[in-house]
Copies of this chain bind each other. A is one copy, B any other.
Amino acid sequence: MASMDDDTPETQPDPRSPTAAMLVIGDELLSGRTRDANAYHLAQWLDARGVALREVRMVPDEKDAIIAGVRALKSQADMLFTSGGIGPTHDDITAEAVAEALGVDISVREDALGILEEWYAAKGEEVTDARRRMARVPEGAALIDNSVSGAPGFVVEDVFVLAGVPAIFSAMLDAADDRIARGPQTSVYTVIGEGGESTVADGLIALEEAFSGLKIGSYPGKTGQGGPLCIVCRSFDEKVARQAALAVEGLFRAQGVEPEIVEGYGPMRD
């Protein structure tokens, strides 16, 4: 795992940022039954920690697809997060697939089994064969606490294997917080004005070139018809982001539009 002190000259967005990728696992996402919530949550959670999420992949509950995803994404990022497929049913094959992708053994671990026994005993229930599956953990993994439903997640070789149910995914992520590398905070200013994207488009290219270490994103309203246009200026250097926002303000004014500058991403689009 990269740390804040590492010299990591090869990562892409900024040499100082630890990178992450995500593998979202589940037939229900690809059939349209369920709208994924975990990628959105993870993106915000990592952004707040200065970690650059580089790619998200969504694959079905198929061993080959999961193995291919784990291998490809692990090679591209410092940390990989998986979501889904670690419950007690037959379609929960993530733990096995991750173990196979990494070439390590997997078996029922006593510490994981102990957690399950204690959790279900408190409810007056047994650890059935199906539940026992949730104690299968790859060799070398550290368990991740699950305060919502007992059965733990785990992390092995910087692959964080978390549940798919959003409340559990989120709780496990928080439980793993002290294992996550931190990077420098990105400063973000958003300039919000009326108009279509082409209102300020011509000026943005020159602007991004003029400021070193600046990233500008242009986001029209949800309908694509009017609504506020958001120009997002991001930089590791707070001054650069702020000065770029002032320059974008100037682009709007040159078109007769009086924009607003806010810190952060401005109105989110959900």
Contacts and interface: CB of A to CB of B under 8 A. Distances in A.
A204 B61 CA distance: 15
- If over half of A's interface residues share one DSSP class (helix, strand or loop), that class is named, otherwise mixed; here it is mixed
5 contacts: A33-B232, A35-B37, A35-B270, A148-B224, A167-B223
Interface string A114-132: 0000000000000011110
Interface string A134-151: 000000000000001100
A54 B163 CA distance: 21
Q: Tell me the number of copies of this protein.
A: 2
Given A34-B269, A225-B149, A204 B90 contact: yes
A47 interface: yes
Query: What is the size category of the interface that chain A forms with chain B?
Result: 35 or more
Contacts of A270: 34-35, 37
Interface stretch (A38-46, A152-160, A175-183, A236-244): A38-46
